[in-house]
Amino acid sequence: MSMADLVSAGAPELPEGWFYRVKRAYPYRLGFKLEIRQQHRIGSELMADAFVLEERHDDMTEAVVRACRCAHRKVQARAEAGAKLAALEMCLGDHDPKGGR
């Protein structure tokens, strides 16, 4: 199954250089995990993951798409938290009531 197949089935599109990976969860009795990964020159980095809950779906494509959406929400939440922290960086330092004297 390609990224295009997942997106056409309802999975969120990912930025350039990012991809979905489905793999067995360890220990193997836990089932399967979906990962969102960012490709680097050497290897890739895990950005977020979610379990594929196959027991809740008759169609396994839908189970994978639901896991894609869950992992994507985690990526979005981290990005929003990062943006808030970056905005707080602007407030670092002393705030002199006399205007900087």
Domain ranges of the chain: 3-89
pLDDT in tens, 78-89: 999 999 999 999
Q: Phi and psi of 59, rounded to 5°?
A: -100, 120
Predicted local distance difference test score (pLDDT) of residue 101: 55
More confidently predicted of 100 and 7 = 7
Strand, coil or helix: 47: strand
4-42 burial code (b ≥16 CB/10 A, e <16): eebeeeebbebeeebebebeeeeeeeeebbbbbbeeeee
Note the pLDDT tens digit of each residue in 4-54: 899 999 999 999 999 999 999 887 777 899 999 999 999 999 999 999 988
pLDDT for position 100: 61
In the block, residue with structure tokens 């900087």: 100
